[in-house]
Amino acid sequence: MKNKETLIKIYRILEKIYGPQKCFLEHEDPLQLLVCAILSAQCTDKKVNSVSPGLFKIYPDAESFAQADLKKFEKAIKPIGLYHAKARNIIGTCKMICEKYNGKVPAEMEKLVELPGVGRKTANVVLGNAFDIPGFPVDTHVGRVMRRLGLAKSEDPVKIEYFVNRNMPSKYWTEFSHLIIQHGRNRCRARKPDCDNCEISRLCRKVL
């Protein structure tokens, strides 16, 4: 089966199982999503969602983040982990957003990845979920499932992203990422994947 056909079949099956998906990070605007996405590195979405509402009450816009006291900000996000780097990146990102983009999150990949702490995965999350611009974020779940399916060999998330971009219509990218993440949590777990009950096992080229 060709890669394009396989990807669409997997999408259809997962869509039927899990239904329409939305971003797992709770947010009300592009800036909130960007901040949450930076915070989510090596941290669960659930943990980020438990901290972010209080954070956004203290820092409601890019200017307030940009002017934040580093030590106080670190303390506010300490439960999330890697708080030193994340605090610096968020404050630096918001300073750049204020200086270059009038306090508004840019809606272009090239501009987003220039921001401190923002790579292609984070940029794709923001583009796809805040601006409805197709993007395929590759997190640990997506990379793991794609490799186990035999659709990707590389550990490089960018190569996996480009593979999907080449072989799948862009209208599916954002939703497909959400569906694979859901499946990675429910069935294709890092430890003890539930291959016996996996709904896409017949399409899996490398069943464990």
pLDDT at 204: 84
pLDDT at 203: 86
pLDDT at 208: 46
The CATH class that applies to domain 3-22+135-203 reads mainly alpha
CA-only gyration radius of the chain, Å: 18
Distance (Å, whole) CA 14 – CA 95: 40
Catalytic hit among 121, 159, 171, 192: 121
pLDDT at 1: 57
pLDDT at 59: 97
Q: Where in the chain is the domain with CATH 1.10.1670.10?
A: 3-22+135-203
Give residue-wise pLDDT tens across range 134-186. 999 999 999 999 999 999 888 999 999 999 999 999 999 999 999 999 999 99
With residues binned 3-state (H G I as helix, E B as strand, rest as coil), the percentages for the chain, rounded to 5, are: 65, 0, 35
- Is pLDDT of 195 > 50? yes
Percent of the chain with pLDDT over 70: 98
Amino acid at 41: A
Catalytic hit among 2, 104, 139, 156: 139
The CATH class that applies to domain 30-130 reads mainly alpha
Catalytic-residue membership of 69: no
Give residue-wise pLDDT tens across range 108-134. 999 999 999 999 999 999 999 999 999
Cβ–Cβ < 8 Å for 81, 42: yes
Catalytic-residue membership of 121: yes
- Is pLDDT of 57 > 50? yes
Q: Where in the chain is the domain with CATH 1.10.340.30?
A: 30-130
